[in-house]
Structure 1
């Protein structure tokens, strides 16, 4: 059985091998304060753990950490763990475009093994990380993201204040997934007081806290699709559906994911589900895409098409 002193020495050996391309046996023995024979034994222990440590003889020879086909266990010292966590916090908060979701997943994994003594340092350092060029994205406290991510992972209820009709109400939920869009973070959760699935904007939450009550996971909708439909249409007064005669990939490049849901019909057409406070607004937006399209529903969309067409023709005639 390996004692704590041996474990710490093996980790120190790994750190030395990671920092230098080649290390001789005598150099390692001197740095670690052990004999060359002990260094050889510790190298064998690293190999048993999956680290490819190569040995070469002669002038310029020594021990070298190689690249293996399998990823061995990741070992970080305190400074490396703090730096990694802060970088992930920055990414989860939106500082790295397109990396938020992956950063949060990695951060929750790191959170499982991060010693308690390091967490206050991570929070302090995270407060000094800022970003720019976020395109107007609302700021989200990474600590709030971590609280919600842990609640999703551990299957415990969460509570927070959320604005509705001018007042802030307490919401009790079973959190299921955090979903990142191109502009915001959302939580898909089962609302215990409304007995239904709901989407919540994380930047609108206040007083976020994980509760002690655990829950059994329910059969849930696909998180990304549900949140996208909620954001793109269900939150608006009007929901509109169109058939657009252009490839889905082309239309997705023209419309932000938070503005509409684009479903492929065939190679040359797609269905677009969008919402707006005004049907005229969403119609004009579709016309500006530059593709032929049909207004499917609601029925009043066709009437608004006729009204807008007449108005545009009149405007063109006046200029003539």
Structure 2
């Protein structure tokens, strides 16, 4: 009888210990999240993917995160690989954004975002126009004056052909009375490559998200001419206050792999949303001047469809897309 009681008591204590351990341990949604980044290291896509991965770990939504950088064609090369190799993988994510949407409209690749699974739009990013610190161009007025006199003499460095950077260059030209088709645009596969070319004076003007160029602006290696938002960011004057009627934003988010179940998709959406609620993610937003712009699931998919229509129309007007 005593032995039976001892065994029962031991079993109860063991169960209680296991229950306590289960409560104490974080409830990981997945063991290892794989993030595909359709750009070389150093740019906005790279910042987004790595920051989200770190936030997912900090929020207890993933034990580990791995990253795969594959630049080229506005992320569409990476998208093709992602769709073909990660089909059915519930732990895979790909960074997407306005740059990729524009590249799809421009290049018309066989694989598009309709072949993947919308998870979440994350934030909006104000864009900035910069020149090397040694440039004789001191203001947007100086830039548009040179652009009007000789459009080809102004080379614009930014993301891939058809990207939101390319669109911005065309809109500034159009608002300045210059044929957007005459814009001398130089595409780069990653933010690091673009930054080096701008600071080295290999292009006249650079375009990127504020977060990408702000360290170089603060260090004095670049001069910021304007931001594209309604209000100033980091005390950089807007295009509108300098007489150029253009206001435009970049945005970034993540898609999941094709072939996942509704339950797997919901688990990934929940994990990403919880990551955006973490201190790590909120600190990242503040540090990079990113504006929260959360939208999930099918609603995010509808937003991307509308962006494709909007950006596609602009690119055709600018002579970039057919």
TM-score interval (norm. to shorter): under 0.3
TM (norm. structure 2) is 0.19
TM (norm. structure 1) is 0.19
Whichever of the two has the greater Rg, that structure is 1
Of Structure 1 and Structure 2, which has the larger fraction of its residues in helix? 2
Q: Of the two structures, which has the highest relative contact order with CA contacts closer than 8 Å and spacing of 6 or more?
A: 2
